[in-house]
Structure 1
């Protein structure tokens, strides 16, 4: 399963990456076809965020800890300090790990949005870039 990732290098520059989260086929019910499931990752808290209509741009910022964001509606455009821009639609999730450095910029679509923030104290234990 693929996930967009925002991370910072030791020099403080933020970048995008696409990571592949390993999955295995699992049957969760005798009558259901097995489907792909990732490993379990420890989460320290879950927050639901309501972004009001008209928020538009959030200036350069970092996250206080690695978070997996799940966008339920609306859309956002992220820009990293290396100048790369990615558009994220509703139904997508992003691993945001730029806890230091210059951070990233967020440009929100004009409508109100709901985002789930899942705090991951150890990230997803992915190999360093």
Structure 2
């Protein structure tokens, strides 16, 4: 499973990358067809954010800690400091790790959005 990642290099510039999250077939109960399931990752905080309708662009900013953002509805377009732009639609997710440096821009869809933020102290590097 692929996950879009935003990260900062030591010089403070932000960039995109893709992280491969390994999955394995796991049955949820003995008679069920197995599903693709990832390892478990430690999370320190989970929060929901309602982004109001009409909020179009957020200036350059970083995140306070490594977060997996999951778009429950709406969409966002991220721009990194190297000028690359990527769009995340409802149902998609991104690992945002640019905790220092210039940060990234966020351009939101015109409707309100619900976003799930999951703080991952180790990112997707160290499963439980």
Superposed pair shares fold, TM > 0.5? yes
TM-score (normalizing by structure 1): 0.95
When structure 1 is superposed on structure 2, of 66-75 and 27-36 the one drifting more is 27-36
TM-score (normalizing by structure 2): 0.96
Mapping of residues 1-129 of structure 1, within 5 Å = 1-125=1-125
RMSD value, Cα: 0.9
Aligned residue pairs, count: 126
Could you tell me which runs of 5 or more consecutive residues in structure 1 were left unpaired when the two chains were aligned.
Answer: none
Q: SS state of the match for residue 121, structure 1?
A: coil
CA distance in 2, matches of 1:30, 1:62: 44
Could you tell me which runs of 5 or more consecutive residues in structure 2 were left unpaired when the two chains were aligned.
Answer: none
When structure 1 is superposed on structure 2, of 70-79 and 117-126 the one drifting more is 117-126
CA distance in 1, matches of 2:107, 2:4: 16
| Structure 1 residue runs of 4 or more that deviate by more than 4 Å after TM superposition | none
CA distance in 2, matches of 1:103, 1:91: 24
